[in-house]
């Protein structure tokens, strides 16, 4: 029986991946590094590497990379302050699951950005806990984020399910031994989601899969 649902945030609940891409692309362009959407998807959303590797390949020093990352974070924060779209069905699905099963967010976003994203979404009230980037050692596709969630909140992998949108998220869930339902978005739709429990078209279809697992 499923007792916990662990949700990714960006690209699953809120449509923020394109904003992060735009902020990163703008900053990298200032040092002559071109970040295309395809490169962003491959490097960041599939391989889980830093897009700033493109700057390093051009000879950018680590001190300068640190400054570039800080500028990107500031730019991304500015985008987030303008408001963030919530994916269709997110609140509807969360409200129906609330109180029936434990729910948490396990995100690669920094806590500052997570808080900015959700200052007006109304979604946080549905969650029992949130793990952000500061709460574990290695980010997705490493399993650390989900292993930390299991350990800190007394959960068992076989009694949990993850909702993700990307290859790196799927790999993280599988590495932690947790079933994963993938809900691809416009950026991740072309990914290969080998080993997913299910790949669905939207959050309402994800809810249908969850209901099947909850009834087992």
CATH number attached to the domain at 17-81: 1.10.150
Chain centroid to CA 187 = 12
pLDDT at 98: 97
pLDDT at 216: 86
CA neighbours closer than 13 Å in the CB half-sphere of residue 116: 19
pLDDT at 188: 96
Token couple for 178: 């947790």
Q: Is 165 a catalytic residue?
A: no
Terminal C-alpha separation, the chain: 6
Question: Any bridge partners for residue 164, and if so which?
Answer: 182
pLDDT at 59: 95
Query: With pLDDT > 70 as the criterion, what percentage of the chain qualifies?
Result: 100
pLDDT at 89: 97
In the predicted model, residues of the chain with pLDDT beneath 70 are: none
Residue for token pair 């932690």:
176
pLDDT at 1: 85
- Strands of the chain, DSSP E: 4-7, 102-106, 129-131, 160-164, 179-182, 198-199
Question: Exactly one of 8, 15, 144, 165 is catalytic; which is it?
Answer: 8
Q: Where are the domains positioned within the chain?
A: 4-15+84-214, 17-81
Residue 168 to residue 99: CA distance in whole angstroms: 29
Whole-prediction pTM value?
0.94
CATH fold label, 4-15+84-214: Rossmann fold (3.40.50)
């Amino acid at each position: 029986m499923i007792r916990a649902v662990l949700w990714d945030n960006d690209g699953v609940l809120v449509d923020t991946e394109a904003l992060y891409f735009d902020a990163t692309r703008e900053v990298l362009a200032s040092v002559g590094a071109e970040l295309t959407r395809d490169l962003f998807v491959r490097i960041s959303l599939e391989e889980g590497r830093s897009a700033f590797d493109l700057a390093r390949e051009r000879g950018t020093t680590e001190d300068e990379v640190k400054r570039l990352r800080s500028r990107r974070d500031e730019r991304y924060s500015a985008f987030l302050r303008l408001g963030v779209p919530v994916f269709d069905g997110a609140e509807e699905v969360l409200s129906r699951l609330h109180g029936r099963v434990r729910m948490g967010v396990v995100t690669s976003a920094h806590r500052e950005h997570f808080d900015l994203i959700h200052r007006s979404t109304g979604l946080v009230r549905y969650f029992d806990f949130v793990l952000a980037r500061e709460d574990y050692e290695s980010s997705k596709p490493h399993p650390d984020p989900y292993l930390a969630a299991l350990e800190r909140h007394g959960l068992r992998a076989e009694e949990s399910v993850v909702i993700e949108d990307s290859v790196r998220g799927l790999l993280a869930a599988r590495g932690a031994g947790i079933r994963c339902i993938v809900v691809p978005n416009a950026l991740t739709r072309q990914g290969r989601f080998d080993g997913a429990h299910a790949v669905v078209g939207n959050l309402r279809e994800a809810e249908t899969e969850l209901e099947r697992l909850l009834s087992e």
